[in-house]
């Protein structure tokens, strides 16, 4: 029996299924459609989080699925943007490196503590928002050119929030791992 508390997970699952469509549209120059799709994906990200928080429709699956959907969408988009020449490769590499470092950190933390509770940090939420705004802007620019300086400012914000978020996670989760290891002694 389907329960209302699973609605955020269905929305998140839909976002995951949209990723291949988005990438296909980008490479086939369907920029208006890809803009609508990326806007839908961004709004659905906010909606599933809102429903989970406001109605307490939180699930363990959703705690893992939602950030995975965000990362899948953004990493795929940033690689596509680099391939298309819309952003420099080093920017895509920074975004990817941060997520690889966080994944390695999460696995390491789990190995030390035998637990892992997904808790996005505020800077991470800002980073995700900045990446979504940049993605929307890059696609929008293909439909209606924007001033290049605005895109440069958005890219700078993404670099700063990506690095700050990565550093903050490493520091925070390292402290937690040390505390957990000390408790086990």
For the chain, what is the domain count?
Answer: 1
Quick: pLDDT tens for 100-128: 998 888 887 777 777 777 778 899 989 99
Structural Rg of the chain based on CA atoms? 18
Structure tokens at 116: 């892992």
* Euclidean distance between CA atoms 77 and 81, whole angstroms: 6
Containing structural domain, residue 18: 4-184
pLDDT of residue 147: 87
Structure tokens at 90: 């080093």
pLDDT of residue 105: 84
- Nearest partner of 9 among 41, 45, 35, judged by Cα: 45
Task: Classify the phi-psi angles of 47: left when phi > 0, otherwise alpha if psi is within -120 to 50, otherwise beta.
Answer: alpha
Per-position pLDDT tens, the chain of length 185: 778 889 999 999 999 999 999 999 999 999 999 999 999 998 998 999 899 999 999 988 888 899 899 899 999 999 999 999 999 999 999 999 999 998 888 887 777 777 777 778 899 989 999 999 999 999 999 999 888 899 999 999 999 999 999 999 999 888 887 887 788 77
- Residue 16 has a CB neighbour count (10 Å cut-off) of 16
- Nearest partner of 38 among 51, 55, 23, judged by Cα: 23
Which residue is listed with tokens 């000390």? 182
Percent of the chain with pLDDT over 90: 66
Give the CATH number, domain containing residue 94: 1.20.120.1760
């Amino acid at each position: 029996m389907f329960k209302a508390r699973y609605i955020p997970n269905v929305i998140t699952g839909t976002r995951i299924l949209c990723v291949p469509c988005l990438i296909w549209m980008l490479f086939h120059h369907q920029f208006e459609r890809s803009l609508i799709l990326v806007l839908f994906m961004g709004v659905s990200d906010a909606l599933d989080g809102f429903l989970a928080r406001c109605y307490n429709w939180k699930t363990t699956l959703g705690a893992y699925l939602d950030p995975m959907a965000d990362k899948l969408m953004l990493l795929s988009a940033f690689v596509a943007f680099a391939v298309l020449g819309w952003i420099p490769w080093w920017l895509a590499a920074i975004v990817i490196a941060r997520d690889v470092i966080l994944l390695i950190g999460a696995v390491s933390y789990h190995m030390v503590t035998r637990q892992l509770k997904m808790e996005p940090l505020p800077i991470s939420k800002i980073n995700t928002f900045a990446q979504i705004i940049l993605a929307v802007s890059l696609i929008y620019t293909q439909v209606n050119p924007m001033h290049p300086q605005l895109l440069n400012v958005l890219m700078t914000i993404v670099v700063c929030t990506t690095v700050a978020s990565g550093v903050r996670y490493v520091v925070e989760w390292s402290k937690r791992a040390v505390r957990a290891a000390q408790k086990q002694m």
